[in-house]
Structure 1
């Protein structure tokens, strides 16, 4: 079985969020199952030079984008035993940032077209399935059926579209159909790409792919409702027969406190006393009171409403009145950044606010913190709480999406569970969940049992990869 995995980012080449981790880890896990998976992404200028120098150009050709004939270079390298292809065009991808430009519609129209043309130059590799990720790749299933269905090299290729976050949909003016995609007006209807008065790349992926997946079972159900559906809930409900929820995992070669050189002291589930050394050293560096008995709560997040930041802020004064320490790492809305910086200046021995994106600091927070707060309003899957589990930082979550699927409320009576949760999206319930965790923290025997449960939770990509392999087989049999 041959699968071309298409995305707009992949670690270690380029990463802006969890998608980059998924595109690195899932293909690697699938290859271990015997599937010939290859990844293709844009060749951004911000890719490290050490990696660029290892790429070889295997083809150059032209891509038609509306009336334009644009250059495309197809480059290649192998990283961690996974073959990677790169779409090279400096006009579209030699820029400081990955997304957020006025011409993103044109950039990813070009990218989608270049993907399909590049298959002609991959030698003996013709994919059975093109696995597309998020809106940047959503138009590929459309073009595959519109332009390549009569081509013998392409007419048996199936497509799968994975929704990582429904909020970002790639919505552009209807003129994009002809001016960039070379599609006629028949595609501007409710059963195709029309989204109100615009064109949605996300909708294209949902309608024209052979299967749609998203990153947890609960999120797959949620996005069929008006609240979570972002205007596409009705469509997803209609397409429910081809919608699958497969929960994300994490790569335990990247996220493992026993192997992590970024933390102060390595440890595992059999040596959790070593975890305390990370906390004591971190307290010292943050100029907090150095005391292992003071609970430390970690927050690694984007400072946006979706992540439940308003709930935290609503109860932050009460939280800081408790005998706890809070360490926050993240950036986002100026409003939220300013509030956390204010509290850090007011309570410097209780809260540390770090408005940066820093992988090393994130790892240190996971290793040092006793609890990890993630009260998201919605969360397709999330990766931070899975990392927290592996590092023995106990998640406190709002029951939504992948959070609900992976965190089981801990009972000291049965000894089962790996975290704490609250059902209704209310700040009072968040505070109650934190207090329940703090109460259990006083019982060291129960708390250590909970830490071991968390660290032994299996959230590797192995099970998820098997689910994807089964789905690939099912689609190919249709």
Structure 2
């Protein structure tokens, strides 16, 4: 099968969140399984210089005044063809793929990702660049949401799969953008790409794609409800028969405590004692007291309301007064950043807070902490809890989305840890339930034999992409046969 995979970010070239990890790992697993796959991505600043021997394929007329050069290279570390859209006026900028370094979202994001969507569609019809044509185009999140619309507009024979990674980010823009993006006026309606008087990339993806997927079975059900649907619950209910929830996996080559290049010491399921050495090194690096028998809690996250980290801040004093330590890495809402920085000032040697993005440190926190805290109010899939399982760092999660699908709680009794237990799951989502659940985890941590049994059960979980890639392959086959 020939598959064109469209994304706005991909690890290791450009990353703001989990979409980049999925975009790097899923195509790699599909390619290893024998799929004929190409990936398309904007050429952000410095990307052409970073990639190996990019070859100019030619130009595509995207809109009447926009001609894009298309370069082919390989996704670093793989043999997968990567098509880069070179249009410096839109993509060669300081800052991130979606935001100005200071002033928030780029004001022309509608055009920037309209171009990505349109180029993806143009690559799926006969063109002068290459004879290769996809049978399926896999679009990811709102940034590629117009692709299924353009495919229909161009009468492409390729089928489209649209994956919802996070419904909260929708790509809604002023209605006037429909003219610039050459969207047909007759489709600016409820049964089309219109959403409360705006154009919506997310709405277009959901409405026009041949098939829909999202990143966990629980999230697939949740987004059909008012609480989690963000205004799309009615449309998603209508398309429920076309909606599949497939739990994400992780790259088990990159995330492997036995080989992780960012760790000072390596360990595996039969050598867990070395995990304590990683913890000791992390405590030294972060200026925390050297206390091996004190539970060290880890957070690597955007510091936002969605992630529930305001709840952790609310109960932090009761938690820290019990003697545990806390290591936080992330950035986000200024008030939350300030709250956590104030905690570090108040509890020197007990709390470490690093504001920003730091991939090496994220690996060391994942390996060196004992309990990984994810009290998200909603979480389409989440990857950090799977990294925790892989590293024997026990996840404590809210019962939502992919967290509920990947972490199994249980009640520990005198006879030991339940055989299917891999972490701690909050039965309700509020600060006090978080505190009670954390205290339960800390109590189990104090029993070394129970804790080690729990670690081993966590590390035995299959969190790889191989099984998930097979699920996607089956989905592609189904959509082709529709």
Q: TM-score range by the shorter chain?
A: over 0.9
Count of residues in Structure 1 that have an aligned counterpart in Structure 2: 467
TM superposition shift of 1:59:
1.0
The aligned counterpart of 1:56 is: 55
More deviation, 447-456/105-114: 105-114
The aligned counterpart of 1:74 is: 70
TM superposition shift of 1:424:
1.2
Contact 1:415 1:449 in 2 (8 A): no
The aligned counterpart of 1:439 is: 443
Q: Any idea what the Cα deviations from partners look like across 1:389-417, whole Å, max 9, x if unmatched?
A: 11111000000000000000144353331
The aligned counterpart of 1:326 is: 326
Q: TM-score, normalised by structure 1?
A: 0.96
TM superposition shift of 1:46:
4.0
SS of match in other structure, 1:248: coil
TM superposition shift of 1:49:
2.8
The aligned counterpart of 2:308 is: 308
- Structure 2: distance between partners of 1:359 and 1:286: 15
The aligned counterpart of 2:368 is: 368
Contact 1:74 1:118 in 2 (8 A): no
SS of match in other structure, 2:230: coil
- Structure 1: distance between partners of 2:80 and 2:393: 31
TM superposition shift of 1:315:
0.3
Q: Any idea what the Cα deviations from partners look like across 1:104-149, whole Å, max 9, x if unmatched?
A: 0111112222222244244231000000000010001001101x21
SS of match in other structure, 1:306: coil
Matched, 1:109 2:105: no
The aligned counterpart of 1:359 is: 359
The aligned counterpart of 2:176 is: 175
Matched, 1:208 2:208: yes
TM superposition shift of 1:366:
0.8
Contact 2:163 2:212 in 1 (8 A): yes
The aligned counterpart of 1:465 is: 469
Q: TM-score, normalised by structure 2?
A: 0.95
TM superposition shift of 1:62:
2.2
- Structure 1: distance between partners of 2:384 and 2:244: 22
Matched, 1:262 2:262: yes
Aligned pairs for 1:165-244 (under 5 A) are: 165-178=166-179, 180-244=180-244
Contact 1:13 1:48 in 2 (8 A): no
Contact 1:250 1:387 in 2 (8 A): yes
The aligned counterpart of 2:336 is: 336
The aligned counterpart of 1:15 is: 15
- Structure 2: distance between partners of 1:174 and 1:394: 47
The aligned counterpart of 2:137 is: 130
Q: Any idea what the Cα deviations from partners look like across 1:314-371, whole Å, max 9, x if unmatched?
A: 1011111111100000000000000000010010121101112101111110111010
Matched, 1:164 2:171: no
The aligned counterpart of 1:91 is: 89
TM superposition shift of 1:19:
0.6
The aligned counterpart of 1:421 is: 425
Two-structure CA RMSD over aligned residues (Å): 1.2
1:139 alignment partner, one of 127, 133, 146: 146
Contact 2:41 2:83 in 1 (8 A): yes
TM superposition shift of 1:185:
2.0
Unaligned runs of 5+ in 2: 99-104
User: Structure 2 vs 1, CA of residues 121 and 385 (structure 1 numbering), >3 Å: closer, same or farther?
Assistant: farther
- Structure 1: distance between partners of 2:286 and 2:65: 55
TM superposition shift of 1:287:
2.6
The aligned counterpart of 2:282 is: 282
Contact 1:14 1:46 in 2 (8 A): no
SS of match in other structure, 2:65: strand
Contact 2:417 2:453 in 1 (8 A): no
Unaligned runs of 5+ in 1: none
- Structure 1: distance between partners of 2:387 and 2:475: 26
